[in-house]
A and B are shown apart, each in its own frame.
Chain A
Amino acid sequence: MPKRLSFALLLILALLVVAGCSAQEGGFVQTVVVTATPMPLPEGAKTVLRVGTGDSGEGLTPHFKIIEMFEAENPDIQVQLEPVGSGDYYARILTQIAAGDPPDLLQIGDDAVPMFVDRGAFVPLDDFITGESYPLDTSIYLPGVMEPGKWQGVQYLLPKDFSPMAIYYNKRLFDEAGVAYPAEGWTWDDLLATAQALTKTDASGNVVQWGIQLPGPWTTGFEYWVAAAGGSLISEDGTSFVGYMDSPEVQNAVQFYADLYNKHKVAPPPADMNAFGGGNSEFDNGTAAMRLFGRWPQSGMKENPNIDLGVAPLPAGADRAGVLFWGGFGISSLSDNPEAAWRFLRFYTGAEGAEIWKDWALPTVKSVAEESGLSTDPIEGVWLNELNHLAPRAYVFTPYWGQTADPALRRVLESAILDPNANVAELLATAAQEAQAALEDVQQ
């Protein structure tokens, strides 16, 4: 009997070991790199600020540059950057918040703003912005870039960088086919006709060149199609998906999108559903004439010998509309030094910071964009002009978008892309009900 017992014990130990191992494999383990800034001097010599970011690698360079500039001007403050890579950034800061020890400043992506703010993770900034000693002139910003940092009319975060959506095109392929470059004012019909004119098949019917590379079942990017169709995914009071997600406008959007894949066959099928943007490489290889996406891969495309790059505005459906992707910083409500944190935040996301960010992403400050010539640049100007056509994303109406409707919408897109015979109206009706039930459940 004791032998049995010890065996059982061993088994339980083995169980735990295995549990431990698989947890480690999954990338739960994060590396925290702390800046080379030396440890704080004793006795109130400096206030130490910690900054949490999900950026990594090359993306950290602008952070370091701005921190260096700020510390030179503000000898009483020392800033430590705490980057968390590997996609586990939110998990980490949630753990830090739960443990009562988050960084003073936190970087958050657009759709996570309501969730964090609604639960009191951030300090409202309005009093700081209009404050006596360190006010911030918010009219310096480009249109639309402050909105994602607001929740219920109050500013909680300030913009770091952003990207609208637009259409990349390969001039070489357009010239070869004798097709005119797309320009402002073009419509969904023009998009389809252009894509059809640029799709080529060989003698045996295999597609050798695609009209447009689309971002697969990427829900966030899909919001462009919804906005341009004149629809919305959620009611403005944030309580209803039914009657919105399943509306005729959203049906049109899904149907048009899926038809580009399955009916017209002008878009290459996704190579990797899970990859950001569908995992296709046709545009990079010079075998797709257009690509719908954000600005992130643009610098690589400019250097790609297969591509003679142009960027076109989004085509209009029922409406001329687009969507914004955004990252910003706010001050943790658990910070011991909100005043010092504000001074850095104001610098980080203000004109001084934007001067550095502009070399890595689109700058948020109008004067920086204009003086650097970006506003009039044939490519960058297109991106900046998209700011004049922004429609609100669905997440701005509820803190629960990510856990209720987003997965439901994703299932719709996956089904519609994978199955040429999918009944879009039915899919959306089911999804809207599922999302509604999830929303009611989570709000209970």
Chain B
Amino acid sequence: MSNARAVGGRRHSRNRLARREALTFYLLISPWLVGLLLFVLGPIVASLGFSFTRWDMLTPPVPAGLRNYVRMVDDRLFWQSLSVTVRYTLMYVPSELVGGLLLALLMNQVSAKGIRAIRTIYFMPSVLSGVAFVVVWMWLFHPEAGLINATLARVGISGPRWLVDPNTALTALWIMSLWGLGRTAVIYLAGLRGIPKELYEAAAMDGAGTWHSFRSVTLPMLTPAIFFNLVLSIISTFQSFTSAFVATNGGPLDSTLFYVLYLYRKAFQEFQMGYASALAWVLFLIILVLTLLVVRSGQWWVYYEGEER
């Protein structure tokens, strides 16, 4: 394209190219952006307003100042839901990061041809309806007739009552969620494929074995992917909802009462929209702070190719 232009016009044409790229970018992103501005941003701003009111959706909101926020301090279920969510996040995020990586390393062993099929198979659960797969898992976890306990019984183990027992219900939801590892694995896989072969060759020449080249080449080169997965995983885990909503409704004895489930209950079952909005904003702040902390920490351990260290 630049062939047709004089050499002196190169800078000019580069500018034009950049502008055109930017234009394309905004054009392509616009359906989402317009949707966000029209349908999401408005409610988000409105919910901040509602959080300072009492509102049952049937009668007009009544100003309540900071009451909704103060109320959380003494709300046992608020703390319970926060504690359940934090515990679940501490269980799930590490397992997703490590498990996804192992899965990606395994998938990376497959030939380039087979990888498409494998990738599709492992990514599939991430696009399936959350409700459908939770229902399947509920059958698997059935205390008497479920496949899991039936299998355990065959080897003489009397399995736990899983979703019916407050001591095991959260663990059961965690096992259920590992089904979705494919999502992180696919991102790792892309990262793995992007590591230049020369690095491994050089490492091999320096006498590095499998473990060493993994530690000194693969892992550092993957840190951007790990970072991305970590951030996304924290954000989404804090908002866990579907599995508990469908499988346990927060029970038994509030042992799986995720924060968002509690919020949903307040909003749509107990009709306390003001309090629910306040809960939403507190969750947003928690996630924001955590995310910023992780982003901050990134400068110590995330390595970008081409960056000088």
Give A residues with C-beta under 8 Å from B: 7-8, 11, 14-16, 18-22, 25-27, 88, 90-91, 94-95, 97-98, 115-116, 119-121, 217, 269-274, 281, 402-403, 410-411, 414-415, 418, 434, 441-442
Contacts and interface: CB of A to CB of B under 8 A. Distances in A.
A271 B242 contact: no
Given A22-B241, A94-B268, A119-B58, A272 B40 contact: no
A120 B58 contact: yes
Interface in B1-53: 36, 40
**Residue among A8, A90, A98 having the largest count of chain B Cβ atoms under 10 Å:** A98
B119 interface: no
B252 A94 contact: no
Interface string B229-247: 0011001100111100111
Contact of B58 (A25, A116, A442): A116
Given A20-B40, A26-B242, 8 more contacts: A15-B291, A22-B242, A26-B241, A26-B264, A94-B57, A274-B251, A414-B253, A415-B253
Given A15-B235, A116-B58, A273 B40 contact: no
Contacts of A403: 269-272
Interface stretch (B82-90, B103-111, B159-167): B159-167
Interface string B83-123: 00000000000000000000000000000000000000000
Contacts of B40: 16, 20
Contacts of A120: 58-59
Nearest to A417: B252
B284 to A, nearest CB: 8
Given A11-B231, A418-B166, A271 B143 contact: yes
Given A15-B291, A121-B58, A91 B268 contact: yes
A-B pairs with lowest CB-CB distance, top 4: A403-B270, A119-B58, A91-B268, A25-B130
A193 to B, nearest CB: 26
B2 to A, nearest CB: 27
Given A15-B287, A25-B242, A270 B235 contact: no
Contacts of A273: 163-164, 248, 251-252
Contact of B249 (A14, A16, A121, A274): A274
B265 to A, nearest CB: 9
Contacts of B231: 11, 14
Given A90-B268, A91-B268, A270 B164 contact: yes
A18 B283 CA distance: 14
A435 B232 CA distance: 38
Interface residues of B, number: 50
Given A15-B287, A94-B57, A121-B58, A414 B251 contact: yes
27 contacts: A11-B231, A11-B295, A14-B231, A14-B235, A15-B235, A18-B236, A18-B239, A19-B239, A20-B40, A22-B240, A25-B129, A25-B242, A26-B242, A26-B264, A27-B242, A90-B268, A94-B57, A94-B58, A98-B57, A98-B58, A217-B252, A274-B249, A281-B145, A403-B269, A403-B272, A418-B252, A418-B253
Nearest to A4: B295
A434 B76 CA distance: 10
A411 B254 contact: yes
B127 to A, nearest CB: 11
B245 A27 contact: yes
Contact of A402 (B245, B269, B288): B269
Contacts of B138: 272
A327 B64 CA distance: 34
Contacts of A274: 163, 247-249, 251
**Residue among A14, A25, A271, A274 having the largest count of chain B Cβ atoms under 10 Å:** A274
Contacts of B164: 269-273, 418
A10 B277 CA distance: 24
B242 A14 contact: no
B202 to A, nearest CB: 29
Nearest to B144: A271
B254 A16 contact: no
A27 B132 CA distance: 11
B286 to A, nearest CB: 12
Contacts of B163: 272-274
Contacts of B129: 25
A444 B149 CA distance: 49
B22 to A, nearest CB: 12
Contacts of B232: 14, 18
